[in-house]
Amino acid sequence: MLLADIVERNARSFPDRQALWFDEDTTRSWAALARRTHRLANAIRGLTAPGERVAILAENCPEYYECYYGVPDSGRVLTLLNYRLHPEELLWILNDAEATVLIAQSSYAAVLQDLRAELPFLREIVTVGPEVTGTSSYEALLGAASDGRSPEADGDDPAWIVYTSGTTGRPKGAMLSHRNLLTAVVQSVVHYAPGPRARFLNAFPLCHVSGYMAITHQFRGGTVLQQGPWRPDAWLRTVEEQGVTSAGMAPSMMADVLDDPAIGHRDVSSLAALGYGSAGMPVGTLRRAVDRFGPIIFTGFGMTETAGNVLALDRETHARAARGDDFLLESAGAAMCMSEARIVDEDGAEVPNGTVGELVVRGDQTTLGYLGRPEATAAAYADGWLHTGDLARKDDEGFFYIVDRKKDMIITGGENVYSTEVEHTLARHPAVAESAVFGVPDLHWGEAVAAAVVLRPGHHPTADDLMDFCRAHIAGYKRPRHVFFTDALPKTVTGKAMKHELKRSFGRSLP
């Protein structure tokens, strides 16, 4: 099966049903989405050779879905670019991928057109929106192509390349096949149960692998709704006016919705499922969400290399937590039906339940490997399991708990400190909106625990206040020895704190 088979099947079964809604004037029926997807695939064939990479640089837009399906159906590989990256970072990724065609919204196309001389592999820039001198028009390209479908791909061919977020250095291009992505989609359909009449409001960026959740809701014929720049009041209005049945968002967005004054005045009773992901959510925020929305919350754990979630914490488990087993709110979930997961030690041996080790996974959804990096691929797949780089433990019921990123664990005075434990402690302080904990060099301890903290409006604790609070709740060696206040944390597009940036910026201020 190929990704575009989803569009083809739904176009036959529900030709007039909405596949996409961006606003009242921007919609796509399944029949229209199929025609445009096939036109794009045929147009791309005329510009490229089989297996070449076609990159997309755009914010969430209808054309993104056409590229999701159409480029892989042509036998080429769609390379997703994060629109928030600096032009130099984009140049590096485009050259690493050896992309021959770039599909870009006008503002981004104009920037890269000016840098064309530094892109030796790029033959064509195709502009979505107002024309840019020296580039081709997306609409003209589609208008000149046939809308008949003739796929040139196999299920095990790469469909997408998604670059890792690069929170610890240069990103790597994870190659995801049609089979990888469809496995992630199908097992999410099983666990999260979106029906053919689902109306899914997506707040995740489509340039990230979390966009697979939109495809999950389209798999059985549902409608995906998108909005412009994030605004919690607009999200609440859309839920009410469009009868949204399910939605997905990052944890910071959930906090925005819960804090928005409009939440008490909007009817959100149509919501039957509300998912969060891409970063950890403070347990306090999660409890507020369960109290506000009821037992409709769900989440999962996945990464770029797994094409989507491999662990799931479903609505029933959240409901159980609301009834008293609230320790489950700290869990990332249990292994999904088409995935295997276990915890191993440094030698790759499985450890007893309750013991911290590295989370490893396997299944048909795990990446084909990293583009052009056979050594990195071999290292990630030691012993046939994909090593996630996450430290975790498993309980006796099979629920997994992420303790820390392996690279984020702090060793201070010979003791291991997991940054997430300190972050959870800081989150309990009423003045703390969010925090990121990381290690900094220390002549005496080797490493010292440091925290960058964003305060809630109207609160003004000192660094000593927060250190004392932590000392009262966790072991002394775990408390931050340095607290830095900041207006905002640097984050990836999916909301993960960029701790290497924090180490670099705040580390300079230390003796």
Residue at a domain's end among 138, 153, 168: 153
Does 443 map to a domain? Answer: yes
Is residue 13 pLDDT above 60, yes or no? yes
14 phi/psi in degrees, rounded to 5: -135, 60
Distance CA 410, CA 448 (A): 8
3-state SS record for 217-267? HHCCCCEEEECCCCCHHHHHHHHHHHCCCEEEECHHHHHHHHHCHHHHCCC
Distance CA 221, CA 216 (A): 10
Measured from the Cβ of residue 322, the count of other Cβ atoms closer than 10 Å reads 17
Residue 363: pLDDT band (50, 70, 90) is: very high
pLDDT average, residue stretch 362-368 = 97
Judge if 142 and 68 occupy the same domain.
Answer: yes
Strand-pairing partners, residue 333, are: 400
Distance CA 347, CA 88 (A): 39
3-state SS record for 30-65? HHHHHHHHHHHHHHHHCCCCCCCEEEEECCCCHHHH
Domain span holding position 267 = 181-347
Task: Say whether 377 sits in a helix, a strand or coil.
Answer: helix
pLDDT average, residue stretch 289-298 = 90
Distance CA 217, CA 211 (A): 11
Each residue of 34-86: pLDDT tens digit? 999 999 999 999 999 999 999 999 999 999 999 999 999 999 999 999 888 88
Judge if 189 and 141 occupy the same domain.
Answer: no
Judge if 215 and 307 occupy the same domain.
Answer: yes
Q: Which amino acid is it at 448?
A: A
* CATH number (domain holding residue 234): 3.40.50.12780
Each residue of 119-151: pLDDT tens digit? 999 999 999 999 999 999 999 999 999 999 999
Does 388 map to a domain? Answer: no
Judge if 334 and 444 occupy the same domain.
Answer: no
Domain count, the chain: 3
Q: What is the DSSP letter of 129?
A: S
Each residue of 443-479: pLDDT tens digit? 778 789 999 999 999 999 999 999 999 999 888 889 9
* CATH number (domain holding residue 449): 3.30.300.30
Does 163 map to a domain? Answer: no
Q: How far is CA 335 from the centre of its chain?
A: 18
Does 393 map to a domain? Answer: no
Residue ranges of the alpha helices (H) in 243-362? 251-259, 283-293, 315-322
3-state SS record for 423-441? HHHHHCCCCEEEEEEEEEE
Stretch among 3-17, 323-337, 411-425 having the lowest mean pLDDT = 411-425
Measured from the Cβ of residue 411, the count of other Cβ atoms closer than 10 Å reads 12
Q: How far is CA 478 from the centre of its chain?
A: 29
Strand-pairing partners, residue 176, are: 160
Q: Which residue in 434, 417, 413 sits closest to 478, CA to CA? A: 417
Q: Which residue has the tokens 């196999």?
A: 154
Q: Alpha-carbon torsion 47, 51, 53, 59, what sign?
A: positive
Distance CA 506, CA 439 (A): 11
Q: Which structure tokens are listed for 314?
A: 């479903």
Mean pLDDT of the chain: 92
Q: Which residue has the higher pLDDT, 476 or 237?
A: 237
pLDDT attached to residue 279: 66
pLDDT average, residue stretch 14-40 = 96
Each residue of 382-419: pLDDT tens digit? 889 999 988 899 999 999 998 877 777 888 877 778 88
Judge if 142 and 188 occupy the same domain.
Answer: no
Q: Which residue has the higher pLDDT, 167 or 435?
A: 435
pLDDT attached to residue 511: 65
What share of the chain in percent tops pLDDT 90? 72
Q: How far is CA 35 from the centre of its chain?
A: 28
pLDDT attached to residue 164: 86
- CA angle at 260 for the pair 228 and 312, rounded to the nearest 5°: 75
Q: Which residue has the tokens 């607290």?
A: 483
pLDDT average, residue stretch 471-500 = 87
pLDDT attached to residue 280: 66
Judge if 414 and 480 occupy the same domain.
Answer: yes
pLDDT average, residue stretch 336-360 = 95
Q: Which structure tokens are listed for 255?
A: 């906090």
Judge if 138 and 194 occupy the same domain.
Answer: no
* pTM for this entry: 0.84
Residue ranges of the alpha helices (H) in 299-413? 315-322, 374-380
pLDDT average, residue stretch 10-32 = 95
